[in-house]
Structure 1
Amino acid sequence: MHPLLPIISYNASPTTLGIYTILCGLFLYTASKMFGFGSRNQFVVAGRTAVITGGSEGMGKAVACQLSEKGANIVLVARTVSKLHEALEAAKGSATHTDRQRFHYISADLTDAAECERVMAEVTEWNDGQAPDIVWCCAGYCNPGFFAETPVQTLRDQMDTVYWTAANTAHAILRRWLVPISPSQQMPLPPRHLIFTCSTLAFVPIAGYAPYSPAKAAIRSLSDTLSQEIEVYNGSRVYKCRTEAPATDVKIHTVFPMGILSPGFDNEQKLKPDLTKKLEAADKPQTPREVASIAIKALERGEYMITTMFVGDVMKGSALGGSQRNSFIRDTFTGWLSNLLFLHVSPDLRRQAWHWGEKHGVPSRPRA
């Protein structure tokens, strides 16, 4: 589902400058990961309520189990009740404080905005009248294929199940979180967190992911926009003694995994064009538990755009644009490194696609 480009190991021999750049980048990247951004945990979950959409399997299930290990109350949202029940039992089995932590699941189709509103209303009622503290959007699946050979309905379905499940969920929870309350009701509370799950495809598209990557790019754009808009509401709280404002600050984050070993990934491999498999041949998929663990540690450091391995970081560096930086030094250097590497990588991807067509002809069109 999430490709790993062969950015480091490609046919052309790197120059001495390139080698030094990569070595320096590896050193700075490793050092930044070792020392982090400070010792204060910026993602405290113990005793708080977390909603995980797409939580019945894969990354969502792994996130639920690890947040449960850290003491969170868990609400899972997905469509299939049998899978939800199994995932909820796994989350319960991971709980640190079985006497205090609470667990719940809701079956819903999040492509329907009204269903997202229902979910947040039910969670709030279950949570003693309080909105959840954390919402992590993991819902969605990948249906790869060449754009011209993919039915239009599949293209629409991908946007619905990837982008709109996240956008609908975000809209439903932000409408609750951002309700202004009077100064007399305002109390010091930890920030609330809205977390999107995206893909490195939002940084570097790959041939064969045309139905899927635009939806992930849309999530990235939504996240960037919300990271600015949310400051209007956070800033209003400075004047909490004089005017109405939301109950607490809200933080926006986005996770950009690469390949994740899951049932969805197995199905994706059956549909994926052979060219796509060739272009991402160097991809070493991670387990859902690995991705969840890396993402949670990054959230604890307060990161906004979260990648789960070094090559993903390089891909992010190639496309930072106006996005919020995690670290001025690290992200600036990674951007320089990426610009050097992609002088070769971008033309090479197109060259490989051209040679594939030269050798194999046009893609076979699925039967109607």
Structure 2
Amino acid sequence: MFGLGSRNEFNVEGQTVVITGGSEGMGKAVALELAAKGANIVVVARTASKLVTAVNEIKTKAANKFKQKFHYISADLTDPAECERVIAEVTTWNSGAAPDVVWCCAGFSRPGFFVDVPIEEHRQQMDTVYWTAANTAHATLRNWLEPVLPSAQMKTTRRHLIFTCSTLAFVPITGYSPYSPGKAAIRSLSDTLSQEIEMIHTVFPMGILSPGFDNEEKTKPELTRKLEEADKPQAPADVAKIAISALERGEYLITTNFIGSMMKGTSLGASPKNSIVGDTLLSCLSHLVFLQVIPDLRNKAFAWGKRNGLPGANSTPAS
């Protein structure tokens, strides 16, 4: 299913791509890259004004401005009915043809210690991180798997459903308890769907320099900053290019830097492998490395707790 070869497994020229969370950050960077490769682009997010700005920028990257089409849809993807509406609207806009690629990038992170974050915010992050992806995937796959009469078939292409996850799904870090469970759920959903359908991929970036990252910094505890010192945030364009190159090679679980790959190697488990030999060697190496890393993370957290006391209702995050 996920064998690697020399041919391009992700040729988007002339195809219609839906990108959720496409108004900024990684989502917009993906849209810009795929527009330059000849794709028709639909970006989806909540804020219409940001979407208008994004589409105007995406248009400037079109490989062929006379053939390619661009569209935006404002929607709240935590509502499954909205996801159904988005896919239906895209299909109508696309002359009755379903989108060829759907890439889920929507979500946000608001770090904080578990007990400091109100339970409503935990639920909100789960809704925005996991359920936007699950709702979009459900609506997309129901659309793709509907019986179609031969006379109504317009073209046959290999479709792709792509989730955007996080390396926190492999190695959780203190301070991300409101966020990492949703990402772990996406990874689990991806592995499950990969047994049902041969079109699933999941991208696992680390930090991305974006408006979302700037917002994270506002609530991120000092301890979390210390524990993730090795994470050097990447530019959205770099993450998009690396992820797209991996999709073109046909990879399933995709990381965007060396440290992320090492984190992936610690928890591959029963997930489908990009390369049986390569991923097996990576897993062996990662487990040796993380024999030191995990105790170090725990020791740093314990030392921080002794110095600063336990988090509680009156503690405040670093600004």
Residue 199 of structure 2 aligns to a residue whose secondary structure is strand
Which residue of structure 1 lines up, in the alignment, with residue 79 of structure 2? Answer: 112
Which residue identity does 1:117 align to in structure 2? E
Match for residue 225 of structure 1 among 192, 200, 225:
192
Q: Does 1:102 align with 2:69?
A: yes
Per-residue Cα deviation, 1:281-320 (whole angstroms, up to 9, x for no partner)? 1211000000000000000000000000111111000000
TM-superposed CA distance for 1:136, in Å, is: 0.2
TM-superposed CA distance for 1:152, in Å, is: 0.5
Of 186-195 and 144-153, deviating more is: 186-195
Match for residue 114 of structure 2 among 123, 139, 147:
147
Higher alpha-carbon Rg:
1
Structure 1: stretches of 5+ with no match in the other structure: 1-35, 231-249
Which residue of structure 2 lines up, in the alignment, with residue 357 of structure 1? Answer: 305
Q: Does 1:200 align with 2:167?
A: yes
Per-residue Cα deviation, 1:292-349 (whole angstroms, up to 9, x for no partner)? 0000000000000000011111100000011010011110000000110111111111
Cα RMSD after superposing both structures? 1.6
Q: Does 1:68 align with 2:16?
A: no
Which residue of structure 2 lines up, in the alignment, with residue 307 of structure 1? Answer: 255
TM-superposed CA distance for 1:190, in Å, is: 2.2
| Distance in 1 of aligned mates of 2:41 and 2:136 | 16
| Distance in 1 of aligned mates of 2:151 and 2:38 | 30
Match for residue 59 of structure 1 among 15, 22, 26:
26
Residue 149 of structure 1 aligns to a residue whose secondary structure is coil
Which residue identity does 1:195 align to in structure 2? I
1:1-368 to 2 correspondence within 5 Å? 37-181=4-148, 189-230=156-197, 250-363=198-311, 365=313
Residue 161 of structure 2 aligns to a residue whose secondary structure is strand
**Aligned CA distance change for structure 1 residues 76 and 188 (closer, same or farther; 3 Å):** closer
2:26/2:105 contact within 8 Å kept: yes
Residue 123 of structure 1 aligns to a residue whose secondary structure is helix
**Structure 1 length normalisation: TM-score?**
0.83
Which residue identity does 2:202 align to in structure 1? T
| Distance in 1 of aligned mates of 2:148 and 2:52 | 36
| Distance in 2 of aligned mates of 1:99 and 1:192 | 24
Seq. identity, %: 68
**Aligned CA distance change for structure 1 residues 187 and 99 (closer, same or farther; 3 Å):** closer
Which residue of structure 2 lines up, in the alignment, with residue 246 of structure 1? Answer: none
Structure 2: stretches of 5+ with no match in the other structure: none
TM-superposed CA distance for 1:153, in Å, is: 0.1
TM-superposed CA distance for 1:364, in Å, is: 5.1
**Aligned CA distance change for structure 1 residues 321 and 58 (closer, same or farther; 3 Å):** same
| Distance in 1 of aligned mates of 2:156 and 2:84 | 24
| Distance in 1 of aligned mates of 2:315 and 2:88 | 44
Per-residue Cα deviation, 1:5-56 (whole angstroms, up to 9, x for no partner)? xxxxxxxxxxxxxxxxxxxxxxxxxxxxxxx943200001000000000000
| Distance in 2 of aligned mates of 1:117 and 1:215 | 21
TM-superposed CA distance for 1:111, in Å, is: 0.3
| Distance in 1 of aligned mates of 2:57 and 2:234 | 20
Per-residue Cα deviation, 1:109-132 (whole angstroms, up to 9, x for no partner)? 000000000001100000000100
Residue 115 of structure 2 aligns to a residue whose secondary structure is helix
**Aligned CA distance change for structure 1 residues 186 and 103 (closer, same or farther; 3 Å):** closer
2:115/2:311 contact within 8 Å kept: no
| Distance in 1 of aligned mates of 2:53 and 2:31 | 12
**Structure 2 length normalisation: TM-score?**
0.95
